[in-house]
Amino acid sequence: MKLLTYLSTALPVIAVSALSASGELQTQPRPTATNATSEMPANPKAPGLAEALPSLDAKTRQILARQVALDRAGFSPGEIDGAAGANLDRAMAAFKAAHGTAELGGASDSPVTTYTISPEDAAGPFAGTLPEDMVEKSKLSALSYASVLEMLGERFHASPKLLQRLNPNAAFAAGEAIVVPNVEPFVAPTTTAEKTDGAKPGTAKADPAKADPAKTPANASAAGPDEVVTVIVTERTKTLEVQNAEGKVIFHAPVTVGSKNDPLPVGDWKINGVGRNPVFHYNPDLFWDADPTHAKAKIAPGPNNPVGVVWIDLTKEHYGIHGTPEPSRIGHTESHGCIRLTNWDAMRVAQLVKPGTKVTLR
């Protein structure tokens, strides 16, 4: 699926694109959603926007509008939270470098819209409070969202706290119309691991991602574009960029990279394949900070899986680009060596690449 399709800015009605277990995109009807705020100007100081977002101060409205506009332009600020920070600054700088201007455009597009929560949304299933311990995680049949609020946050690329601020009186129950960021909604794949034609999951060196949890064959369903692209990950700026054959940045996102104990494997690599909803094979012997009482464990798929909902396998053994169960930490913390993105950004990258795509880590 091409980036411009995925990042459609026209949202008169929110129609969610769902992903099957095999990773194929399929359009399906979703709960009623209306763009009741579509007539509001994007200017965060305009009376219309202030009236629609009375729970937010002018500065927060301004930052929210900028985060949403960047997300829709393909320059992800990571989790949308209405707060200034390094991820927003880097996204703005990348957009300006790519376009020669800081003007985001889309003056007629509101940064928010409304979404009606359906009975299916509210029904889950939800996992509730998830254990931190890996072995305890392995006892769960699926690493589902903890709550409807967490699910809706990820669907609209937003922090749950922001959704609560946008909807201070909401119970987040079926039938409620809530205000959400006006972005392309993300729906996680079903919690069934993608088949790998007998490919044996690898073993990790130190990171959950390095478990090669769903190493896919070269003809796997990595839905990349026809054109040649290159993925570039820069440790200094904690960013990932996808460039086309002409060197133009067509996607940018914040990432979490390596640490002193598990540094980023600098160099040029290629993509082997893409696995959706990976099963994670935990081996405590390969983690420098693992609990010494732990045994090997198999952790089920789901958005709260240690590697999120997608694993992009690299030719550097045991390393990959993947999602995360903690989107608020992207760009702000260290990893055990691999490249983490929010689940929605990881899926965007997965849709742009294919086996053989060049990946430069620097």
Q: What is the pLDDT of residues 206-258, one digit of tens each?
A: 333 333 333 333 223 333 457 799 999 999 999 999 999 999 999 999 999 86
Peptide bond into 125 cis (omega under 30): yes
Taking only the tens of pLDDT, the chain with its 362 residues reads 222 222 222 222 232 322 222 222 222 233 333 333 333 334 444 446 777 788 899 999 999 999 999 999 999 999 999 999 999 999 999 999 999 988 887 655 789 999 999 999 999 899 888 888 888 888 888 889 999 999 999 999 999 999 999 999 999 999 999 999 999 999 998 755 544 332 223 333 333 333 333 333 322 333 345 779 999 999 999 999 999 999 999 999 999 986 666 778 899 999 999 999 999 887 777 666 677 777 788 889 999 999 999 999 999 987 899 999 999 999 876 555 589 999 999 999 999 999 999 999 99
Q: What is the pTM of this model?
A: 0.78
Spell out the domain ranges in the chain: 3-181, 208-361
Q: Are 270 and 357 in contact (CB under 8 A)?
A: yes
- According to the model, what pLDDT value does residue 214 have? 36
Q: Are 189 and 140 in contact (CB under 8 A)?
A: no
CB neighbours of residue 6 within 10 Å: 18
- According to the model, what pLDDT value does residue 285 have? 74
pLDDT one-digit tens code per residue, 76-126: 999 999 999 999 999 999 999 999 988 887 655 789 999 999 999 999 899
Q: Are 303 and 325 in contact (CB under 8 A)?
A: yes
| Domain 208-361 in this protein, CATH class | mainly beta
Tokens 């995360």 identify what position? 324
The token pair that represents 298 in the structure block: 């198999």
Amino acid at 169: N
- According to the model, what pLDDT value does residue 291 have? 74
- According to the model, what pLDDT value does residue 325 have? 94
Nearest-CA neighbor of 323 among 293, 258, 278? 278
CB neighbours of residue 288 within 10 Å: 10
Amino acid at 194: E
- According to the model, what pLDDT value does residue 103 have? 86
